[in-house]
A and B are shown apart, each in its own frame.
Chain A
Amino acid sequence: MQNRELVIIGGGPAGLSAAVEARRLGIEDVLVIDRESEPGGILKQCIHTGFGLHIFKEELTGPEYAERFIRKAEALGVEIMLDTMVIELTSDRRIVAVNGREGLVEIQAKAIILAMGCRERTRGAIKIPGFRPAGIFTAGTAQRFVNIEGYMPGCEIVILGSGDIGLIMARRLTLEGAKVRCVVEIMPYSNGLTRNIVQCLEDYSIPLLLKHTVVNIHGKKRVEGVTIAEVDDEMKPIMETAQFIPCDTLLLSVGLIPENELSRMAGIEIDDVTGGPVVNQRLETSVPGIFACGNVLHVHDLVDFVTQEAMEAARGVASYLADGGKKYDHIPVTAGEGLRYVLPQRINVEAMTGEKQNFFMRCARPMARARLYVESERGVIESRLLSHVKPSEMISIKLGRDELKGVKMLKFILQEEGDKIECND
């Protein structure tokens, strides 16, 4: 059994950023464990640009963003254990991992940061009828095939779901010579960035069919086509609008789920809405000494926010190691009307790691103009006007210690505003 100070499970941008920040804060012994043969997580396959605008003020590709953090981590003496899969985690912070060199590795850690990322929703999770022929992939798997393994998943492609990964793959496959017939989205709006709709679809005249879905998959051995149909306001397919689209490949870009098997094993409380752990102001889960950040905590669309959150988790670990795991009471933080969730789900204002507390949230539907209200038991304590909120783009706001002092609860509400501009702020 090894004894370590801080063990980080997952060496993607979350794990690497947390490791770098932990070393900067003076934590001596930092070990990152990743099951792959190289650190960098999902960024290794995201060869397109769009990473790091906030952190580096530059538009980097995924591999470039990852390499910058890998270099920093190495320069700061972070130990990275690769090809090693963590298979067990307990509530008293014991880890069992397995690799080909040492077999089973047992580690007792003083603190742990979960940074395992997320995985893609698969077809089973969304239930399309039809046979199970070859030629159905998640967009991320197709991305790995094309960008890392170097082969094409197919020639004629339909993409279900308009999340960014699907849009990015529509362009990538087109450039590599495939014909992308259309992108089909069940919602009345796209889940991707406008920039991606323009540069990945409009640039190549790929149709985006909103309020449509795939109702059937044809083919026994290999996909031969799909039937798509428009949906009504209740998202039920209108069968009169059904049409057959020949294709040999269906890509699914229908969402991501935080990877929390280990968290559950350790008895960590999971939030039903985010799919990730419930955390407090320092991103500590319900199990003392175990922290979480990145896609394992909630799904992020921007890697810059992943890095910021990971740095916060590292500060949380530093404060935990300093106060010896002292117990704190928390006040609840909840999402009201207009919002799907707010993170952290509970806070202790006295124990905040900085002068400001970051809150991350997602709205329930797109709004051109909206006002965000923060309520305590005393009424509204803060309000902000936001423009162009979308469920796919995370909202982040900071509240100061003074504003939060003495409050017993916090509730965030997002209300749509009319087109008229009110000049009251």
Chain B
Amino acid sequence: MSATTEKRRVTCIVCPSGCRINVEIEGGKIIEISGNQCKRGADYATTEVTQPMRVLTTTVRLENGRLLPVKTSHPIPKALLFDAIKELSGVVVKPPVKMGQVVYSNVAGTGVDVVATRSWD
């Protein structure tokens, strides 16, 4: 079976120029990147196409029924955002909590911690 060419469009957000970058992929490999004005754009597009990463921000329940805002301490693969949200929907945290405190570990098997983004007495 011959490898098909896949075309992807990525908007670069590294600088305010916001270049529209075209990436051509064949058999899982990037064969061409165009539309970028600089090397940083090519690097960005490569990561976006191969392994896009995002910091997830959401809330978890506190035992008192209120919501605690949280974030992943590092970016996690974009493809796992929904899994992470699902896992965190069952988490209940007992106050007091300090800002930066780990409230959940290894979210969606990423090895990344989820930390509180505010304190709660």
Contacts and interface: CB of A to CB of B under 8 A. Distances in A.
B69 A195 contact: no
A149 B65 CA distance: 10
Given A64-B99, A64-B118, A49 B57 contact: yes
Interface in A377-410: 387-388
B91 interface: no
A62 to B, nearest CB: 8
B17 A388 contact: yes
Interface in A31-65: 47-49, 59-61, 63-64
Interface string B91-121: 0000000010000000000000000011100
Contacts of A47: 57-59, 69, 71, 117
Interface residues of A, number: 25
A64 B58 contact: no
A195 B13 contact: yes
Interface string B50-75: 00101111110100001101010000
A71 to B, nearest CB: 9
A147 B11 contact: no
A419 interface: no
B57 A48 contact: yes
A194 interface: yes
A26 to B, nearest CB: 29
A175 B117 contact: no
B27 interface: no
Given A147-B59, A387-B16, A202 B11 contact: yes
A230 B42 CA distance: 35
A194 B18 contact: yes
B60 to A, nearest CB: 10
A24 B53 CA distance: 40
Given A195-B13, A388-B17, A49 B67 contact: no
A418 interface: no
A59 B13 CA distance: 15
Given A49-B55, A147-B69, A194-B18, A175 B82 contact: yes
Nearest to A150: B67
A198 B13 contact: yes
Contact of A198 (B11, B17, B67, B119): B11
B30 interface: no
B85 interface: yes
Given A47-B59, A49-B71, A388-B16, A67 B118 contact: yes
A50 to B, nearest CB: 10
Contacts of B25: none
- Chain A CB within 10 A, most for which of B57, B59, B81: B57
A203 interface: yes
B78 interface: yes
A176 B85 contact: yes
A149 B67 CA distance: 7
A292 interface: no
Given A175-B81, A203-B54, A203-B78, A67 B119 contact: yes
Nearest to A44: B118
A199 interface: yes
- Chain A CB within 10 A, most for which of B66, B71, B78, B118: B118
A197 interface: yes
A148 B16 contact: no
Contact of A194 (B13, B67, B71): B13
A176 B86 CA distance: 9
Nearest to B82: A175
Contacts of B16: 194, 387-388
Given A175-B82, A198-B11, 19 more contacts: A47-B71, A48-B57, A49-B71, A59-B55, A61-B69, A61-B71, A64-B117, A150-B59, A150-B61, A150-B67, A175-B58, A175-B81, A175-B85, A194-B16, A197-B11, A199-B13, A199-B54, A387-B17, A388-B17
26 contacts: A47-B57, A47-B69, A47-B71, A48-B57, A49-B55, A49-B57, A60-B117, A61-B57, A61-B69, A64-B99, A147-B67, A148-B67, A149-B67, A150-B59, A150-B66, A150-B67, A175-B56, A176-B85, A194-B11, A194-B16, A195-B13, A199-B13, A203-B52, A203-B78, A388-B17, A388-B18
Interface of A: 47-49, 59-61, 63-64, 66-67, 147-150, 175-176, 194-195, 197-199, 202-203, 387-388
The 9 closest A-B pairs by CB, nearest first: A63-B118, A47-B69, A388-B16, A194-B18, A61-B117, A195-B13, A63-B117, A198-B11, A150-B67
